[in-house]
Amino acid sequence: MKALLKTDLGATPLVGRGKVRDLYAVGDALLLVATDRISAFDHVLATGIPGKGKILTQISLFWFDLLSDLVPNHLIASSVDQFPASLRPYADQLEGRSMLVRRAQMYPVECVARGYLAGSGWKEYVTEQTVCGIELPAGLKDGSKLPAPIFTPATKSEGGAHDENISFAAAERVLGADVAAELRRLTLAIYGRAARRAEERGLILADTKFEFGSLNGKIILADEALTPDSSRFWEASAWKPGGAQASFDKQFVRDYLESIQWNKQAPAPGLPADVVERTLAKYLEAYRRLTGHDLAL
């Protein structure tokens, strides 16, 4: 199977290409296509992970369904035979990896929930004993479980740069107090349900980020949801605070890039076959563990 790194849908207007997704305008709707591109250290690598886009899309669809009573989402259809006729000739690029979605006015803040200390949260804690201004107990380690899940917003980056963690007060200034409070409530409610599902499947949902938008006066969940690209899923049986955890993401990719001492500047290198295979296996296992089903690519 060959990795799909770039889509071409003929006369369908291309709105933009992100690190993973290609976005097209389809009448009043948008078409999100998850390619097999993979990024690390803020760069898209020269090698893709065959089937990764399908896995990400199917995981998001699973969560959209499971969370639908908590928050509405932007999904219109995910099957090519339900798409407009103009898209059907491109079924080989779209089947299993695309979503036709409603356009929403997106809020300019990433909504992050953390139940465990990791990543940028851990780095801030080491120096400040806070995460996004929230004071935490002394003595926590990298990977420690927090006393309770916390909402830690971030500004959306432009041009692929790092998102910047901000305080809740800063989020209120950007969004308004009422919207900020509701996004915090929704983020923590979704995290709570997803964390319980992960726990049932022998996984820890350490943290995750969501994007919300406004449609017809209602807040909706958009983009992707609770995939290994937007979340840290850890193996519960192997969890031990004090360092890196056994994870279901692109850790093999990061480890390889660190081993070759790449300077983290463009152009990004490619990946050897064994790193591609092991990374794909991790994504497939994440799908199987979360959904309870196998996915045929």
pLDDT along the chain (297 residues), means of 10: 96 96 97 96 94 98 98 98 97 98 97 96 96 96 98 78 86 98 98 98 97 97 95 97 92 89 91 96 96 94
Q: What is the DSSP letter of 230?
A: T
Question: Are the beta carbons of 178 and 116 closer than 8 angstroms?
Answer: no
Name 248's Cβ contacts closer than 8 Å, sequence gap at least 6: 203, 228, 233, 234, 235, 282, 283, 285, 286, 289
Output the pLDDT for position 158. 60
Output the pLDDT for position 261. 83
Output the pLDDT for position 250. 86
d(CA 256, CA 241): 23
CA distances from 109 to 38, 84, 119, 167, 229 (A): 23, 32, 18, 11, 18
DSSP-assigned letters across all residues of 63-119: HHHHTTTTS-B-EEE-SGGGS-GGGGGGHHHHTTTEEEEE--EE-SEEEEEEEE--H
d(CA 282, CA 55): 11
Output the pLDDT for position 60. 98
Nearest by Cα to 211 from 23, 11, 2: 23
Q: What is the DSSP letter of 238?
A: G
Question: Are the beta carbons of 3 and 48 closer than 8 angstroms?
Answer: yes
Output the pLDDT for position 159. 53
Phi, psi torsion values for 106, nearest 5 degrees: -80, 140
Burial class (CB in 10 A: 0-12, 13-18, 19+), 50: middle
Q: Which CATH architecture has domain 105-238?
A: 2-Layer Sandwich (3.30)
Query: What number does CATH give the domain 1-103?
Result: 3.30.200.20
**Residue ranges per domain, the chain?**
1-103, 105-238
